[in-house]
Amino acid sequence: MSAPAKVLVVDDSATMRGLITAVLSADPEVSVIGQAGDALEAREAIKKLNPDVVTLDIEMPNMNGLDFLEKIMRLRPMPVIMVSTLTHRGADASLAALEIGAFDCVGKPLPGDARPFGDLAEKVKAAARSQRRQYAQSAPVAPPPAVADFRVGRKIVAIGSSTGGVEALIAVLQKFPANCPPTVITQHMPPTFTKSFAERLNRLCAPVVQEATDGARLEIGKIYLAPGGERHLQVANVHAPCCRLIERDPVNGHRPSVDVLFDSVAELAGRNAVGVILTGMGRDGAAGLLKMRHAGARTLGQNEKTSVVYGMPRVAYELGAVEQQLPLNAIGEEILKMTAARKEGTD
């Protein structure tokens, strides 16, 4: 067995530090090697203890978590998991952290939570195994392709992602023109985060990006993000395709689940669809992407080198669900090629 993942827990609350430590210490493959109450203590602990992973509170005295994260990524890049309150403000800060380079975010528990911090230990272990990515300043937002250069066909695009998906989705969707094909997305996220993420994508991208609502018609130039929480996103109605939010148990441990979305797209659109699986832990979406490919859809997967976690794309590739495996920066353009109208008509 490989050595346990070494973790430094950083939070200004002694109670929260103790709770996080208890949750992580219950996993024999994780070792909490230190705690810190603020950024100054954390900086010294990182130098002294050399942890594999840091869990970092967003709101701290002396220096907030986002500022400290920026320094970590610039001076000593390493996997950092942000710990945030499940509020709109916390969601905005968490999304900013993911764009800076945080590995993932988890929400602080609410009273009565049966599993405080959920799968934090699994995320820590995945972070410890992840590739160490060098910090880079955010590049200026590239202008989207001109509308005149793209004639949309009749295909629906379905995208699934998890850990690392915030950065990956931004990179893909910023390549889309304002008249992009109807696009549905399931990204594993806490319930309060998806609305903020949709708003963030809407500001960054040329198409309209919104949280999916039950019954929303799939339209050219619109992107629909599955809301986190109690329901799964599907597509329905072959004559007037629309979003459906359904109450159902978690699938592959997730709600919403990428498999549930991909299964519905395979049944509704068949060959008139493109399925894309991006970075993420686990296997959610792999079986659904295979079902899409068997139904005649075009399918893409993010390659190992550019994935924060090569879990979901790897399983999909090994199942034979992925027609083409591509680096992240090539996926947006390939989607447009696959969904563009043919000269003699529409695809």
The residues that are catalytic are: 162, 188, 284
Degrees, nearest 5: CA angle 35-40-43: 70
If you ran DSSP here, which 8-state letter would residue 214 be given?
T
The size of the chain, in residues, is 347
d(CA 81, CA 53): 8
Quote the crossing angle between the two packed helices 328-339 and 165-173, to the nearest 10°.
50
Rounded CA separation 87/98 (Å) = 16
Are the C-beta atoms of 90 and 105 separated by less than 8 Å?
no
Shortest CA distance to 294 belongs to which of 272, 317, 321, 318? 321
Bridge-based pairing of strands 273-277 and 298-302 is: parallel
Assess contact for 232 and 218: CB atoms under 8 A.
no
